[in-house]
Amino acid sequence: MGFERRLSLLAATIAATPLALAACTADQRSGAGPAGVRAAAPELALTPADQARDVPISAEVGTAVKGGRVTQVRLTDDKGAQVGAEPREDGSAWVPVAPLQPRRTYTAEVTATGDSGNTTTRRTTFTTTAASTKPEITSNLYFESNQTYGTAMPVTVSFDPPVPKEARADVQRRLFVKTNPPQPGAWSWVSDGSQVYYRAPDFWQPGTTISVRAALEGLPIGKDRQGDADRSATSKIGRQVALEIDNATKQMSVLRDGKLIRKIPVSLGKPSTPTSSGKMVIMAKHQYATFDTRGEPDGGYVVDVEDAQRLTAGGEFIHGAPWSEGDQGSTNVSHGCTNVSAAAADWLMNVTQVGDLVTVRGTEVPLTEGNGWTAWNVGWDEFVRGSALPVPAGLRPAPTQAPHPGAVAGGSPAPAPSVGGR
């Protein structure tokens, strides 16, 4: 079920948190404080350790400070060229903007400043490992640049093979998300490690810019694997659109900015091939698609459809189905998809967007974890239990929020629709 953050090094003032200390070369400066009392310079330690060798190309410059804060970092390679990097939000390390090169030597010079203005500068020089021959875990980032997504759009990274539980924290530390205006969120792993989702406690605010970086190239993953690539993307969130599908009434309610704009009759999956109930996200949109279910237990047909919008990895779509228009609004006859009229399907394609929330209620089976982008199919408390790292306790849903997520323009990568239901 596997699927498919610019940074420059400059002086900066950030808060720092402790890391494991390592010996480095140093240049310490201290001065006299009030009444001639000599103020102590801040203590500063760096990682990797000075003269360390066989350092992974995913290395970061770790900074641990007591009695001050990091105010300047300069990272250069063995040819004297400056290497761009930026600080982690907690100040614990500086992350290069791209993976380091194999078998190259790098020098980091870091200055920390104390409250009295005294400084400490330390340097560490390290050499990266040769290109690794370990097999890679293939990752895919389901978030493209220059798109406009729906307000329920999760940032999704998939892995093949899945990431083992003991390695997930290391992987998660290398997944970065920035939002403007700020709207912090959390990562959560699917139980088998094949996907990890990032979302905020509430739906994204329309107009939010989201920048993502999955900095996994050369990252050691467990004992015998490594990450495959460093990927990044920046896109925006559009206005709110949501679809609510009720099996009891066989009707789809289309809401924009929380207001009902249309109701559409539907035919859902028949009892032998039921539609999933739950909160899904539109994963992809196709003007034309071919559903080929030969070899599937409940399949065996090939059919061309128009105006198809993917909801699950397993092949549930909303699409035009002229052959079932007589049943729409009254009887379920599909193989799990949501059938609508050809005219309604065409209209929907101009209203919805990848990342819009689709809620289905009242069918025979629940939506399965990881069958598509299922980040919204659980409440926040359950969602954060899937994080491999601590989540701030104050990160909670707002008392009130816009009830219906969505957007109206843009696009996204998605699996090819080779399997589907009618």
CA distance 139 to 116: 47
CA distance 94 to 104: 18
CB atoms < 10 A from the CB of 62, how many?
23
| 404 a catalytic residue | no
DSSP state of 267: B
* 246 exposure class (CB count in 10 Å sphere: 0-12, 13-18, 19+): middle
Residue pair 221/388 in contact (Cβ under 8 Å)? The answer is: no
Hey, what are 238's tokens?
A: 């559009």
The answer, yes or no, to whether the previous bond of 161 is cis (omega within 30 of 0) is yes
CB atoms < 10 A from the CB of 78, how many?
13
Hey, what are 249's tokens?
A: 């009434």
Q: What angle do CA 31, 34, 39 make, to 5 degrees?
A: 35
The active-site residue, picked from 286, 319, 335, 404, is 319
Q: Which residues does residue 237 pair with via DSSP β-bridges, in sequence order?
A: 149
Give Cβ neighbours of residue 53 (< 8 Å, ≥ 6 apart): 126, 127, 129
| 337 a catalytic residue | yes
How far does CA 150 lie from the centroid of its chain? 14
Q: Which residues does residue 82 pair with via DSSP β-bridges, in sequence order?
A: 76
Hey, what are 316's tokens?
A: 């549930």
The active-site residue, picked from 286, 335, 337, 404, is 337
159's enclosing H/E stretch is strand 155-160
Q: Which residues does residue 198 pair with via DSSP β-bridges, in sequence order?
A: 155, 187
Amino acid at 341: S
Residue pair 130/217 in contact (Cβ under 8 Å)? The answer is: no
Q: Which residues are catalytic?
A: 319, 337
